[in-house]
Homo-oligomer: A and B are copies of this chain.
Amino acid sequence: MKRWQALTEVPVYPHLAGLAQQPFDLTSPGALAPARMQQYCCSAAGFDLLYATQRVNDEVLAGLQELADQCGLVEQFRQMRRGAIMNRIHGFASEERQVLHTACRDLFADNPAEPVASGQAGREMAKLRTFLEELENGSLANAQGDPLDTMIHVGIGGSDLGPRSVYEALRAYKRPGRRVFFISNVDPDDAAAVLRQVNLASTLVNVVSKSGTTLETLTNESLIRRAFEGQGLDPARHCIAVTGEGSPMDSPVRYLRSFYMFDYIGGRYSSSSMVGTVMLGFALGIEVVLEFLEGASLMDLAAEETGLQQNLPLLLALLGVWNHTFLGSATVAVLPYSQALHRFSAHLQQCDMESNGKSVSRSGESVAPLKTGPILWGEPGTNGQHAFYQLLHQGTEVVPVEFIGFRHSQYGEDLEIEGSTSQQKLVANLLAQSLAMARGQENENPNRRFPGNRPNLILLADRLTPKIMGALLALYEAKIVFQGFCWNINSFDQEGVQLGKVLAGRVLDLMRGGREKDDVGLSPEMTLIKMAKMVRE
């Protein structure tokens, strides 16, 4: 079987491109028949994927299965989980790394897919367990012997969005008395607003940076350390580190404890590593973290199934490829009907767009005219219904939608009002939106006409538990990876962030009074700086 080939060269590609000329019409009479609704359903790790409201039929699904087979998508996923060097560009300098975020949760099988990485993950988990026990039994406390009940999680990007969105999702499970805050932005107001709310004497600062050199994180850490010193407290008694072994931050003198992450885990895939689990363990307890990891591992296993109907992440990925590559949509909206998931779309925005916002294949060739990763965005429903859904229903851009919903609420604090509970109202709205987008509605008044044929799907689970959250996280991680394989791009590097970093350094240098090294190249910066009036007097 040929592998790592351009999508346009895969044998089934022209067939699918042909089918895309006349996609399934969701507005035709009987299009959404009960039989279709029941047949177009796929389940894994506690989730049902309802996709009758996609513009696909059996022929398209068969084509997508062929696409998966001809690209060897599942085979590549299996190789990835077993330690293959997937983070590379053939023929050019690149990161040349394994991709093993899945190993962090491969802790429940007798034979993990990649024993070395899972062994390392297990050792870090054991360190975390000990640390949490010591906090619990008081052997770890502040200088006065009082409990450390507050944590400030300091990280940015992959060290912030994923962990924070999981924390927000599982706040309902928070341990009484524990408080967690986040500082990410180099904007000094971010740190100032948090520092006003905490009692530093009882606060742990969890500094998270894989490289140990992240500008924002080190700057905020310095700000916080000076705040400790300003109160006569020793920062080394309050700061812990999550970083790469041997990084500049790996220092027992400066940190109470260090937890490691490894170069085979990309920042945006690191929520289930120590990057997320140290803070989650502090907030929720180690048992909740283990449930979360177990849910993720179950979804990882589902992603190794060969058949599209048995492999929910693969199906989700290929429905996306159908919408973006074959039907031409530039964006995708992820709309959770759950307030607890209010930051999950922001995490996915990072994970998806940083992974698949690429223009170069895994052989260093331009992918043009093929388009790769979409713009991913979203906010929770029902809130969004009162905001941007107008465009989803009647705008000139077609936005494929991925709804996420739950049959039951987290707190279970609900009341029946006018014959239905709030949770029933929430789910009723989700179902109604899915149908409205798909089938549309005619009207004599053109302004009240709904064209329909807006592809969408529903991911449905019983309740947003730690296990289900783990499964959801792993589902989207696998979706993104499958799509990257399909577009034949490297989903694991981020060269696109380098130029901005380099230029920011130059601008700062100029602000500090440095000379222009290159008249032509730097004059725009100088002009901009003057206009920003940020140069020191």
Provide the residues of chain B in CB contact with A253, threshold 8 Å.
none
Q: Are B411 and A189 in contact (CB under 8 A)?
A: yes
CB distance from A157 to the nearest CB of B (A): 2
* B382 and A216 contacting across the interface, CB-CB below 8 Å: yes
| A33 interface neighbour in B156, B216, B523, Cβ under 8 Å | B523
In the bound complex, residues from chain B placing their C-beta under 8 Å from that of A339 are: 185, 187, 189-190, 193
Cβ A382 vs Cβ B185 within 8 A: yes
Known: A192-B411, A267-B386, A448-B498. A503 touches B435 (CB 8 A): yes
Chain A count of residues within 8 A CB distance of the other chain: 159
Contact yes or no, B357 A534, CB < 8 A: no
Q: Is A123 an interface residue (CB 8 A)?
A: no
Judging by beta carbons under 8 Å apart, are A390 and B226 in contact? no
| 25 CB-based A-B contacts, threshold 8 Å | A93-B445, A156-B382, A185-B382, A186-B426, A187-B340, A189-B340, A189-B411, A192-B409, A192-B410, A193-B339, A216-B425, A222-B415, A346-B387, A353-B390, A358-B394, A372-B396, A375-B375, A376-B388, A385-B497, A407-B532, A419-B512, A420-B508, A425-B508, A432-B501, A447-B495
Tell me if A354 and B391 are in contact (CB < 8 A): yes
A338 to chain B, nearest CB (A): 6
**How near does chain B come to A355, taking the closest CB pair, in angstroms?**
8
Question: Interface with B: A99-107, A134-142, A359-367, A476-484, which one?
Answer: A359-367
Q: Given the known A-B contacts A395-B357, A420-B508, A429-B504, are A528 and B434 also in contact in the complex, defined by CB atoms under 8 Å?
A: yes
In the bound assembly, the distance between CA atoms of A187 and B426 in angstroms comes to 6
Choose among B33, B435, B523 the residue that contacts A525 (Cβ–Cβ < 8 A). Answer: B435
Q: Are B32 and A524 in contact (CB under 8 A)?
A: yes
* Interface flag for A202 (CB, 8 Å): no
Restricting to A389-403, which residues have a CB under 8 Å from any CB of B?
389-397, 399
